[in-house]
Structure 1
Amino acid sequence: MANALLIGAIVAAVIGLLNIGLPLFLAEYFPVQLLWKQRNGKPTVRTASYAGRTALVTGANGAYGSRAATMFAQHGVSTLVLVDVFDCGKVKEKIETDLKAAGKAVPTILVWQIDMMTFEGCRKLAEHAKTLKSIDHALLTAGILAFNRRDSPEGWETSIQVNFLSTALIALLLIPHLKASPSNPNPPVLTFVTSFGIYPSSFTMGLPKSGSYLRRLSTSRDGMEQGHQYGRSKGALLYFARELATRVDGVTVTNADPGSAWTPLTNPNQSKLIPRLIMNISARDPIYGAATLVNGASAPASANGAIIHDFDEAGYPPFMNRTSGRVAQKRVWEEARAEFEAKVPEVSAVYALLEKK
């Protein structure tokens, strides 16, 4: 009898721990409800017309970027800027051909190439941006998924370089050129792409006891540790974006999560058991993710600092809302600023502008 009571107590305790602990664990590292909702979501572009406006899309050769650029064009954007490390000439041709076939107006389409492995490449993009009269929507989709560790010419692991540092620098350098067209009733929008990958990578994003936080995030070895680099780089970018949103005036800063899809970027995960299982749970047609990105880049001023999932705003990952997360956010901001001002002197004028708020 005593043994039966003991066993019953143990079973009850285990069930209790699972009922309490499992939801907490999933919320922290694997928000399955969020993934399932995205898998079944089918968002469409909310804005009826972008007539008279200018949209700039980085990563415009990618699965999401090319589709998002096409959506802007299909909804009447007047000037479309396609930016990528590769030549976007074929994307431009397809957009023009499809619009002509549908009897729709063809926008002015500019094709710019960029080297996101270097800060000089980011500077050149900003120089091009000076030629535009306005930028209503800046959608920064460019990114990499690096399964093997390499360092950029700037001395950073390539995921941290491209997905965080170069993307953040582009955003800063574009801020002086983000201006709404006369036909746009809302402030210009600057949109970063965020990812579910932040959640499982979060346990590797603790602050070091000493030394640079960004250098710690940039340190990785091939294997499981390198596998977290995409999430870590997106986590750093989300910290940066949330801080930027509190400092910039006249620009709406959003983070859009397109969800999961099998694309040329993610296809290497087909050979990896756990990533493949996660993708199979959550993957959907990339056209829906692209619509989410366009909606994120078209958000009203009230969405400043928000994370956009399909049509809805979502909360930040739990670890970011803790005191330690707020400290980490300041470290990301300050260390990135020191790196940028040391290598790209003209960015100091942008920081001075942000400090006026």
Structure 2
Amino acid sequence: MASYGPIVAAAAAVLIAVIFYGVPLFLKEYFPYWSLRDQRVAKPTVKTESYKGRTALVTGANGAFGSRAAKIFASRDVETLVLVDVRDCSPLKKEIEEEARALQKTPPNILVWQVDLMSYEACQELGRKAKELKNLDHVLSTAGILSFNRRESPEGWETTIHVNYIANALLGLLLLPVLKSSPGNPNPPVLTFVTTFGIYPSSFTMGIPKTGSYLKKLSNNKDGLEQGHQYGRSKALLLYFARELAARASAAAKGKGMRKVTINSADPGSAWTGLTNPNKEKLIPRLIMNLGARDPQICATALVNGASSAEDAHGKIMMDFTTAPYPPFMERKSGRIAQQRVWDETRSVLEEKVPEVKAIFDILDAQ
């Protein structure tokens, strides 16, 4: 009779190897739960004591994070606060002014700008308005959407890709030449994009096509699994873009083609908000959210700290008390290839639709 001992031993060895080596590798690639765990218990506080004399611009200012971030800037004596959203921010402006007066403080000069991020023309108009600002110390781009069903923008892009990636990239480019520190600000101005843990589980759906447009491949998705990961995919594109933009801006500043600007991304962590509340009806997303969900005020604090970073935060991902690594797939050779592909395709799209960005891209070409 054959002995099953060696077979059982071999199977046990394989199981142990999977548990001790395979599972950690899988989690590192697709589900770094430790970052969610750490964020859940972290309670960052605002690092900058005063924004006196400075100007801060917040997109998505009516959102859970954007509105709270705007109030943080206002509570720390920012001189000019620009509220940007697709919806009218006048009620938020009134709230901030009333809260300041209740504390017997002078409210900041608050500008309310409405912009439809699915419109190239509206983004251009925002860029033109920004040129009228005397200084621009902090730009915090919180604007974004989470769509559970596929829809297309008037320009033919899936809406999540258009708003979360294309529009944010365009606004970053248009605001880059405008960023200028106020006389009392000892650091370079800061441009901060918002990133997310959701990039990790979305990465396995982000393979590069052998032919055709990478952006169009991700945009021409279907409902179901791909749409479920579309938020993370759009944020992965934005993280690629932000890292490339930071590298090119550094080179341009050394070549004196543009002034020095700190460009980074900030991970606010997760929270139950109007954007994420629909996930409460879905078991897996709800369990993942509950693992890391925290007070939106803490998330906003983390974002404000990111947008207030010193020069050494350039090109980095800011997370509470430290910096976070880039996802493993972005660090591999294939990730660097994808990043260049994203940059080149984005440039082609934007130069066709918004010709004025060509001059900005040309400056960023200075290596």
**TM-score under structure 2 length normalisation:** 0.96
Q: CA deviation at 1:292?
A: 0.6
Pick from 296, 300, 303 the counterpart of residue 306 of structure 2.
Answer: 296
Say if 2:291 is the partner of 1:267. no
Q: CA deviation at 1:10?
A: 1.2
Say if 2:98 is the partner of 1:97. yes
| Partner of residue 243, structure 1 | 244
| Partner of residue 202, structure 2 | 201
Residues 4-54 of structure 1: CA distance to partner in whole angstroms, max 9, x if unpaired?
343133112211122100000001000000110011111111001000000
In 2, Cα distance between the equivalents of 1:76 and 1:350?
32
Q: Determine helix, strand or coil for the equivalent of 2:81.
A: strand
Say if 2:327 is the partner of 1:317. yes
| Partner of residue 344, structure 1 | 354
| Partner of residue 257, structure 2 | none
In 1, Cα distance between the equivalents of 2:176 and 2:300?
23
Q: CA deviation at 1:212?
A: 0.5
In 2, Cα distance between the equivalents of 1:311 and 1:241?
21
| Partner of residue 19, structure 2 | 18
In 2, Cα distance between the equivalents of 1:155 and 1:186?
40
| Partner of residue 82, structure 1 | 83
State which drifts further: 270-279 or 2-11.
Answer: 2-11
In 2, Cα distance between the equivalents of 1:171 and 1:36?
31
In 2, Cα distance between the equivalents of 1:353 and 1:251?
14
Amino acid of the residue matched to residue 285 of structure 1?
D
Say if 2:235 is the partner of 1:234. yes
In 1, Cα distance between the equivalents of 2:366 and 2:53?
30
Aligned 8 A contact 1:194 1:234 in 2:
yes
Amino acid of the residue matched to residue 310 of structure 1?
D
| Partner of residue 267, structure 2 | 257
Residues 217-240 of structure 1: CA distance to partner in whole angstroms, max 9, x if unpaired?
112111221111101000000000
Q: CA deviation at 1:129?
A: 0.4
Q: CA deviation at 1:131?
A: 1.2
Say if 2:205 is the partner of 1:183. no
Residues 306-341 of structure 1: CA distance to partner in whole angstroms, max 9, x if unpaired?
000112111000000000000000000000000000
Amino acid of the residue matched to residue 79 of structure 1?
T
Amino acid of the residue matched to residue 349 of structure 2?
E
In 2, Cα distance between the equivalents of 1:177 and 1:340?
18
Q: CA deviation at 1:246?
A: 0.4
Q: CA deviation at 1:172?
A: 0.1
Say if 2:160 is the partner of 1:159. yes
| Partner of residue 47, structure 1 | 48
Pick from 266, 289, 295 the counterpart of residue 279 of structure 1.
Answer: 289
Identity of aligned residues (%): 62
**TM-score under structure 1 length normalisation:** 0.98
Q: CA deviation at 1:81?
A: 0.2
Aligned 8 A contact 1:295 1:311 in 2:
no
Q: CA deviation at 1:121?
A: 1.4
Q: Determine helix, strand or coil for the equivalent of 1:190.
A: strand
In 1, Cα distance between the equivalents of 2:177 and 2:332?
32
Aligned 8 A contact 1:172 1:350 in 2:
yes
Amino acid of the residue matched to residue 172 of structure 1?
L
Give RMSD over aligned pairs: 1.0
| Partner of residue 147, structure 1 | 148
Aligned 8 A contact 1:307 1:315 in 2:
yes
Q: CA deviation at 1:105?
A: 2.5
Amino acid of the residue matched to residue 77 of structure 2?
G
In 2, Cα distance between the equivalents of 1:59 and 1:301?
25
Q: Determine helix, strand or coil for the equivalent of 1:2.
A: coil
